[in-house]
Chain A
């Protein structure tokens, strides 16, 4: 999977969770950029991403990401290990 494809599917998941088609997601996007992106919606995003890519993050890992790009790095690592 290319990085672009990964970003596309993550953007779609995030738009679904916030029920807002106008949201634009880049590698630099983070919780600060979207009003409703609180800790609970963050959980929803993480779980949705895990389901989509059939991976499982570690609890500590989830806390380290500063933006969507860093989450993608974690996904990359997990997908390579599969």
Chain B
């Protein structure tokens, strides 16, 4: 089943060929894209005229592609004395476009390209020395676009400047295509541009990758630990160790921003762990990994095990292994796992992996960097659970505490982030941007509930969100999503009690819930039924407040507002 999505592509250069590429790439990545292609060079008109065809189309995602050639044309007709303010004027204009797009679509995602760098041949290197140079304006605009994206959660930047620096100007831009067809991108540039656009669309739809699984021998270090021994493996300055150190540093940075690391290696565990414990040049340490699997089973079984333990989808995993045989095996058995076809020469690993853009980031929050620790606690919990025969005893032993808050400035980014990330326990899969969440907080027809959970092993942070909307005497559950890590802990029961409380405060007679099936949320198809709702029609369920029966759970409720 492909996800349907309405995409608008606007550009000040010819975009037809890029649009074809985006449609095709979207399809292989699971999106059925309905694409509106703006007329050539009509960005301002289409975006600022609220009655334009663009708005009649009502896109979910708008991509605006700016070309440096058009920017230069504008620059050249700007009076010299106004050129030092050119960048600010351009950025203000782009801000105006963004506010029009936001005004007209609540959940609309906006992808704006930055500008490829070019040498206009006027000041040479000294462009860097003069405010009135084109390069000064161009780089300043690119920097300001980053600020714009920081300030507007629905805006992402398509980094054309970076893509061009990867390909080189001569490959990225074909002057003959520009002269003959107003194309600012060469045919060679299209695959990379298209893939990056789909990457941004994909994370905006909640499909960010979350886990990097690493093989060890000849992937994380050079050589074979079992044969060569810890002092002979290549890492740091020894042999081609630099190549592996670069990969380790990359993995470490990913971990710092919330990507989970796992090891999946054919080795005996003790030998595999030794370099992490004793080798002074290892960037990665044992505590960086959420899970460490080293044994002689096949990797498919081990990755399945990792998936179960971490409780994330196969499609959010990347498996890096130097061995083509292992890669092929994993690819054929677990097609959703992303398995890059690593180059043979380890020196080339990093350039190759970076170009694939495996870990495009969605909305981030401070909690991300704590994730590895949280997963380690979770594995600890699983161990405790195995000790208890009785589920209730286990839950009581956890000493859980739940804090229920309305949406506030502190939790708004987290609520938006969880909304983007939750795919399995998500009843209607409505995604909320930060702006949406704060709008809900200020709308009296809505009540938002944000649930935080902690237990004696640690803090889970925000784990569930419920968005309630009053419709006369009905309280409609516009969405309910929860982190799957806290399934079967009694949170659902506590949450329902909260929903009933809200319903009673608002003098609502009944609570109405809907389950909208997606490819990933079968987990909650029986959710309302299991909570005692009555089946109304189709996927609609309802619970008259008078029918609510409190179910026992083992979570202490902490009030803070």
Which residues of A pack against B, CB within 8 Å? 39-40, 43-44, 47, 57-59, 62-63
Q: State the main secondary structure of chain A at its contact with B.
A: helix
Answer yes or no: B14 CB below 8 A from chain A CBs. Answer: yes
* Cβ–Cβ contact B187 & A40, under 8 A: no
Q: How far is the CB of B193 from chain A (nearest CB, A)?
A: 16
On whether the beta carbons of A44 and B187 are closer than 8 Å, the reply is yes
Residues of chain B contacted by A62 (CB below 8 angstroms): 176, 180
Q: Does B175 contact A (CB under 8 A)?
A: yes
Q: Is the CB of A63 within 8 A of B180?
A: yes
The smallest C-beta distance from B374 to any residue of chain A, in angstroms, reads 50
Chain B residues within 8 Å of A, Cβ to Cβ: 14, 16-17, 175-177, 179-181, 183, 187
Chain B residue at minimal CB-CB distance from A51: B187
Residues in chain A near residue B176, CB distance under 8 A: 57-59, 62
Measured between alpha carbons, how far is A58 from B14 in the docked complex, in Å? 20
Within the assembled complex, what's the spacing in Å between the Cα atoms of A62 and B183?
Answer: 15
Q: Across the interface, do B187 and A59 meet the contact criterion of CB distance under 8 Å? A: no
Residue of B nearest to A40 (CB): B16
Given A47-B187, A63-B180 in contact, is the A40-B17 Cβ separation under 8 Å? Answer: yes
Chain A residues whose C-beta falls within 8 Å of the C-beta of B17 in the assembled complex: 40, 43-44
Which residues of chain B have C-beta atoms less than 8 A from A63's C-beta?
180
Chain A residue with Cβ nearest B188 = A47
Measured in the bound complex, the distance between the Cα atoms of B180 and A40 in whole Å is 10
Residues of A within 8 A of B187 (CB): 43-44, 47
The smallest beta-carbon distance between B492 and chain A, in angstroms, is: 52
Interface SS majority for chain B: helix
- Tell me, rounded to whole Å, the shortest Cβ–Cβ distance linking B179 to chain A: 4
- How many Å from the CB of A40 to the closest CB on chain B? 5
Q: Are A39's CB and B181's CB within 8 A?
A: yes
Alpha-carbon separation in the docked complex, A63 to B17 (Å): 19
Using CB atoms, name the residue of chain A closest to B178. Answer: A59
**Shortest Cβ gap from A39 to chain B (Å):** 6
Q: How far is the CA of A62 from the CA of B175 in the complex (A)?
A: 13
Q: What are 24 A-B contacts with C-beta separation under 8 Å?
A: A39-B180, A39-B181, A40-B14, A40-B16, A40-B17, A40-B181, A43-B17, A43-B177, A43-B180, A43-B181, A43-B183, A43-B187, A44-B17, A44-B187, A47-B187, A57-B176, A58-B176, A59-B175, A59-B176, A59-B179, A59-B180, A62-B176, A62-B180, A63-B180
Q: Which residues of A contact B179 (CB under 8 A)?
A: 59
Give the residue name and chain of the B residue nearest to A38 (CB).
Answer: B16
- If A40-B16, A43-B183, A43-B187 are given as contacts, then 17 extra A-B residue pairs at C-beta distance below 8 Å, sorted by A number, are A39-B180, A39-B181, A40-B14, A40-B17, A43-B17, A43-B177, A43-B180, A43-B181, A44-B17, A44-B187, A47-B187, A57-B176, A58-B176, A59-B176, A59-B180, A62-B176, A62-B180
Residues from chain B with a CB closer than 8 A to the CB of A39 are: 180-181
Shortest beta-carbon distance, B177 to chain A, in Å? 6
List, in ascending order, chain A residues with CB within 8 A of B177's CB. Answer: 43
The 6 closest A-B pairs by CB, nearest first: A59-B176, A59-B179, A40-B16, A47-B187, A43-B181, A40-B17
**Residue ID in chain B nearest A47 by CB atoms:** B187
The CA of A72 and the CA of B176, in the complex, are separated in Å by: 19
Residues of B within 8 A of A47 (CB): 187
Q: How many Å from the CB of A51 to the closest CB on chain B?
A: 9
A71–chain B nearest beta-carbon distance, Å: 14
**CA separation between A57 and B176, bound complex, in Å?**
9
CA distance A52 to B549 in the complex (A): 75
Q: Which of A39, A43, A47 has the most CB of B within 10 A?
A: A43
Q: Say how far A36's CB is from chain B's closest CB, in angstroms.
A: 12
* A17 CB → nearest B CB, Å: 12
Nearest B residue (CB) for A48: B187
The distance from the CB of B561 to the nearest CB of chain A, in whole angstroms, is 58
Residue of A nearest to B14 (CB): A40
Q: How far is the CA of A59 from the CA of B180 in the complex (A)?
A: 7
Nearest CB in chain B: distance from A31 CB, A:
14
Q: Please measure, in the bound complex, the distance between the C-alpha atom of A39 and the C-alpha atom of B179, giving whole angstroms.
A: 13
How many angstroms between the C-alpha atoms of A20 and B177 in the bound complex? 25
Min CB gap B170→A, angstroms: 12
> Complex formed: what's the CA distance from A43 to B177 in Å?
7
| A58-B183 Cα distance, complex, nearest whole Å | 16
* Nearest CB on A from B125, distance (A): 28
Chain B residue contacts of A44, Cβ below 8 A: 17, 187
